Amino acid sequence: MAGNLIVSKPLRIGVAGLGTVGGGVLRLLRENADVIARRAGRRVEVHAVSARDRNRKRPVPIDDLEWYDDPVAMAESADIDVVVELIGGSDGVAKALVEAALDRGIGVVTANKALIAIHGHALAERAEAHDAPLAFEAAVAGAIPIIKAMREGLSANRFSAVTAILNGTCNYILTQMRETGQSFASVLEEAQKLGYAEADPSFDVDGIDAAHKLAILASIAFGRVIDFPSVHIEGIRQVTAEDIVYAAELGYRIKLLAIARDGGEAGIEQRVHPCMVPADAPIAHVEGVFNAVVTETDGADRTMIEGRGAGEGPTASAVIADIVDIARGRFSPVFGVPCADLEPFRPARMQDHRGPYYMRCTVSDRPGVIADIAAVLSTYDISIESFLQRGRSNNDDAPVPVVIVTHETQEAAIVEAVRRIDALASVREATHLIRIETFAR
């Protein structure tokens, strides 16, 4: 087919879910119809839609589209060539819709990271059985084409690690806390007013959203069966403005990172938690609602892609990129290799993780306190790299912060040491621990 020849038969799309992203997909497909047709090699037309409320006001008109109260029935219609699932949720109607489309042998495009993280392997097997494409670029990092980059652009490489900022809400909150000095609670309230955080922000701030995305990236990177339950998850609720100030003084910034690392015989790490990263590391300068993904491979070394991780435009852009690939007949195995070639996921034990740590202890301002803490650390073979203590209080019984940065040590050792330290009579509050990622080569 000549490069500028458009196939006469259009690709007929059914869109389920007409929220922010669904509306963005409809708008972009209409506004950029000519550009998309040239790149897809055929016209891409929305033929049908489905949502919970037919009468709700939409950002684009839908009166000329076929309406389905039941999205599964839409997927079963012979008039639909590709289903776009934008309902969300790991089960229920979203899962039933995707299964129905794959069973028909038609393409599925989804932005649903929870669905892929939890049921991805079973859906991939279903897609292979029916020779149907299942695409989910929009499920991870919004407009950043990281799935395509890892599955295709870096296909010649062995991955050793993927480190990413995958939740724009958390990154915005941590950025604002650093820039304004406000507390987590204050910045979260502002983020909710601005629409950057949901009324119930748990999915984002507790790390679950980033963990879903990390499980997907880890499967592609390491050729393993996806294993969301083995992801270690911590959120950012416990990060304080005080920690952010100390981080800056020590030469770090705090980010919620999603990290997958191949530990060889020890297994593969999958962890989401706040990290201190060197202030001169490129990922430390990814601010606000932006996402970034750093890959480490044997051939391409270290690469980083940054972009908007959510929102109408970025997510709709990624959805339509998958539609264009399906229109052109370009699609890869769901997780990079056929399901039969995916190896079982062997997770590393979190207690075996090794690295440096930031510790903030709140102690009574009296002689011998530091010696007691140092003695506990020594018992667990934990050495101190640096140490900060603010000036003495006028009240000997007033609490003061003591900040310690350790050399590399084992997670199990530092956790047990902190348990012992918190039992000391001079320690007034639970010790706050944050892992440090050095990005050393």
Active-site residues, by number, are 213
| Number of other residues whose CB lies within 10 A of the CB of residue 366 | 12
| Number of other residues whose CB lies within 10 A of the CB of residue 323 | 22
In angstroms, the CA 25 to CA 410 distance is 47
3-state secondary structure of 87: coil
In angstroms, the CA 114 to CA 120 distance is 9
In angstroms, the CA 320 to CA 314 distance is 10
Whole-number CA gyration radius for the chain? 24
List the one residue out of 399, 395, 393 whose CA is nearest residue 361. Answer: 399
H or E segment to which residue 302 belongs: strand 301-308
List the one residue out of 13, 35, 86 whose CA is nearest residue 310. Answer: 86
Strand 357-364, strand 354-355: pairing: unpaired
- Inter-axis angle of helices 20-31 and 33-40, nearest 10: 80
